[in-house]
Chain A
């Protein structure tokens, strides 16, 4: 169907968003054109402001409006424990638990020579600085359980000073996971990583 070129442009740009296909992009475009005008303008404005104002935190790489993000300046957090993640959205996963009180470091990707991503393409130089001896008690390597997640963790492990404890996330059964419906690799990892009762 031939839309006016502006509608078409809107659909095209929306369909570039992750998880949005052509069909959903059309639905979103129709919605944006028919909803109250303020609402659509507000969306445009917050996108623009977010892009203008948000930059990587100079310390950890998380989203920040100032030089440092709210987590890095929070004195109530434990700055002696550092959790390393691939991307800012991973931080949300730990924050919603409400249990983790340390700070973070966002790599901005995973090491993958196949995709041309070497150490200098990631936020690793600042991590090295943060790991100066005597500053961090524990570093948690929370990269995903994939081959690239593993190689990245192994690479980082090599630069951790001897007096810092290094841990990785456990692998195994999801909460509420039924044993009989789990794939055998997951069960095996859960067994191998079993903990004292």
Chain B
């Protein structure tokens, strides 16, 4: 799987630009503000259907323009693949997957595996639980696109349930009971997927963090549910019973909070470093190496799929690391796949690249 060509119109800082990619390492070289990260972001949007930096697709429209279009041509072996996304200032969206039109950006996921390492990833370790949930869900959806729709539906049911709790009347409580049942039904496959994923991530995250940091503290991941006691049943009926019991126990609290207080949208992925929550205790350097380990572990899981070694997007990650860690990261990066790196200086890179693009004055120039 490789990206052949990326074409942007009115995306972030770019008016119109096209990039012809090499199947190996592509370096985007340019000063701050030259639009390097925006190119990676456009790739990310095409492959995964969301921006790593922005919650609203409208923000991606170039200042002064009224809609952006980003189009990506790739190939899976001999088969061509084309993914395109656009959104206007009114929020009207269009997508194309191999020419088939649609609206939802979420339908883009599952065709081209992509893993990005961004400076903002520190937040996955340090920020609120919602970020770690979205890390898990985005990776789950890449591994199994059948989860995209259930995730959307679950979010919708929670919104309905919150509205029902706010209304407060519930003459006979029937509506709330229906929404309880519906929410639990939608929650179970999501919880199963998240717990399976966490189990698969524990070993690679710990190993990669060790290799990268050169430190020996233990790293562990722990899925902490919002369902009372800690040991969450892994599957089916036992899990359903636990959720139903939690719903009954929280009935009064939810009525006064007017909001849904349990479910996948309230769970937490706890990252433990030497047995203590990394969110509270990790140093700046440890936070950075943990964040990179989470991303590299994603790449490892995605690479298990034979047709889908992921395309790597490395947004200026080397600059933030000291010399030894930079060397170790270069060794840990998966070999043989395609990557896009951006950096203000060539000197930051601990390895050779196959093609270099110079970004200046709103244009891209290919150099050798």
Contact = CB atoms under 8 A, between A and B. Distances in A.
Contacts of B171: 119-120
Given A147-B153, A184-B145, A184-B146, A155 B175 contact: yes
A138 interface: no
Nearest to B182: A151
Nearest to B148: A185
A156 B220 CA distance: 46
A173 to B, nearest CB: 16
A154 B181 contact: yes
Interface string A133-166: 0000000000000011011001100100000000
B149 interface: yes
A148 B178 CA distance: 11
The B interface is mostly helix, strand or loop, or mixed, namely helix
B182 A119 contact: no
B190 to A, nearest CB: 14
A185 B182 contact: no
A34 to B, nearest CB: 33
Interface string B140-175: 000001100100010011011101101101010011
Interface of B: 100, 107, 145-146, 149, 153, 156-157, 159-161, 163-164, 166-167, 169, 171, 174-175, 177-179, 181-182
Interface stretch (A4-12, A16-24, A109-117): A109-117
B179 A151 contact: yes
Among A113, A183, A188, the most chain B Cβ lie within 10 Å of the Cβ of A113
Interface in A63-122: 111-114, 116, 118-120
Interface residues of A, number: 20
Contacts of B146: 184-185, 188
Interface of A: 111-114, 116, 118-120, 147-148, 150-151, 154-155, 158, 181, 183-185, 188
Contact of B175 (A116, A119, A150, A185): A119
B167 A151 contact: no
Contact of B182 (A154, A158, A184): A154
A104 B27 CA distance: 64
A128 to B, nearest CB: 12
Nearest to B110: A184
B156 A147 contact: yes
Contact of A148 (B107, B149, B160, B181): B160
A112 B156 CA distance: 11
A155 B172 CA distance: 11
Nearest to A157: B178
A113 B167 contact: yes
Best-buried of A148, A154, A158, A181 by chain B (most CB within 10 Å): A154
Contact of A119 (B145, B149, B174, B181): B174
